[in-house]
Structure 1
């Protein structure tokens, strides 16, 4: 039994994790964003890197911020999106154009 001079000792309870249909829906959306980021980054290396590169960067960052379970794909999407923009900068400086071609 505690007395008035002795403080009551309790252990703090950790905050409850949010579970349920809303959380699983947000996680599924984040997983979809991670996959879309990867695909857009991959396609951006071939065509429309001015448009698809930034989209891959944004979708990858949003997927990571929302706690995706496909973290590797989101990181690959971000990496490929950055590579798209670097490829665009390289093409502009060497050719003076925003598209690339094979041959002369």
Structure 2
């Protein structure tokens, strides 16, 4: 008499469950990369002192959490640093913490 053994049915249902936290973490990191880019871009125009550091923090977190949008995270880091550099230059020329063009 021959008996057939099959794989347990639970392995098929637990495999996607094991991938969910990684996928959720990756999508959160992707969102952070996009937010870093957008905040860095908007920060070049307004609220440099607030949006620049936010872009730097979010870009760093996105890279450490393994985002698939690495280029956007790096652009967010670059724009965040540019925000702070722009604020420093314009503040030095104006002599105050607030600045305006014109």
Q: 5+ unaligned residues in a row in structure 1: which ranges?
A: 1-18
In the aligned structure 1, how far is the partner of 2:44 from the partner of 2:98? 11
**Residues 22-37 of structure 1: pairs in structure 2 closer than 5 A:** 22-37=21-36
Structure 1 residue 99 displacement after superposition: 3.6
| 1:17-73 CA distance string (max 9 Å, x none) | xx5100000000000000000000000000000000000000000000000000000
Q: 5+ unaligned residues in a row in structure 2: which ranges?
A: 1-17
**Residues 16-95 of structure 1: pairs in structure 2 closer than 5 A:** 20-95=19-94
The total of aligned residue pairs comes to 85
Structure 1 residue 100 displacement after superposition: 3.4
**CA RMSD, aligned part only?**
1.1
Structure 1 residue 102 displacement after superposition: 3.0
Structure 1 residue 91 displacement after superposition: 1.2
Structure 1 residue 88 displacement after superposition: 0.8
User: Following TM superposition, where does structure 1 have runs of at least 4 consecutive aligned residues deviating by more than 6 angstroms?
Assistant: none
In the aligned structure 2, how far is the partner of 1:51 from the partner of 1:101? 16
In the aligned structure 2, how far is the partner of 1:73 from the partner of 1:21? 23
TM-score (norm 1): 0.78
TM-score (norm 2): 0.79
